[in-house]
Amino acid sequence: MDFLDIIHTRRSIRKFACDPVSPELIEKILRAGMASPTATNSQSWRFIIVDNRDTLNEIARIHPYAKPAADAPLAIVVCGDTSAGHAPEFWPQDAAAAVQTMMLAARSLELGSLWCGIHPHTGREDAFIRLLGIPGSVRPFALLIIGHPLQPFTHEDRFDEAKIHHNRW
């Protein structure tokens, strides 16, 4: 499958089969995330793999848009170490790039994913810090729910010329 087709058929998946995601696929997704660029090469991202059923159910309860976690076999909480590197103010951008890379990697492996925002909502951040014991300078950035999809990978094209300017606004 062409790379651009992977990009255009990645979509938010909200219905997942209960089948587990193999450790090999989880590692491929994390390895892809860690191939993303970071400001001053800080590699500020940190990851919490969640596959414990009780914890996934609790995640579905504490995040307002994470109900699919109650059915999915896997979630990865992408965090950022806000003290890493020489330009730590960019940590949310580092984390966002990693999340998108992981969603695309998942799609290329025929897995579905859903990005649920945590940062900058401090209430959501605090709930994940408490649930997962996230320490010190590390902050939870986003929840990525992953699993074998029960929805099709439809083609999305949101190209809009009105959003493009040339040499000046």
Tell me which residues touch a copy of itself (CB under 8 A). Answer: 1, 3-4, 6-8, 10, 12, 27-28, 30-32, 34-37, 39, 43, 45-52, 55, 87, 89-90, 92-93, 96-97, 99-101, 103-105, 108, 115, 117, 120-121, 132-135, 138, 142, 156-160, 163-169
Q: Minimum Å distance from CB 113 to a copy of itself?
A: 10
Q: Minimum Å distance from CB 54 to a copy of itself?
A: 9
Cα–chain center distance at 140: 11
Q: Which is nearer to a copy of itself, 21 or 138 (CB)?
A: 138
Residue count (the chain):
169
Q: Minimum Å distance from CB 19 to a copy of itself?
A: 19
Q: Does residue 91 contact residue 44 with C-beta atoms inside 8 Å?
A: yes
Cα–Cα dist 12/70, whole Å: 16
Cα–Cα dist 44/139, whole Å: 11
Tokens of 133: 């014991």
Q: Minimum Å distance from CB 164 to a copy of itself?
A: 5
Cα–Cα dist 142/136, whole Å: 17
Q: Minimum Å distance from CB 166 to a copy of itself?
A: 5
Q: Which is nearer to a copy of itself, 8 or 71 (CB)?
A: 8
Cα–Cα dist 148/128, whole Å: 24
Q: Which is nearer to a copy of itself, 33 or 148 (CB)?
A: 33
Q: Which is nearer to a copy of itself, 103 or 148 (CB)?
A: 103
**Closest C-alpha to 95, from 34, 6, 16:** 34
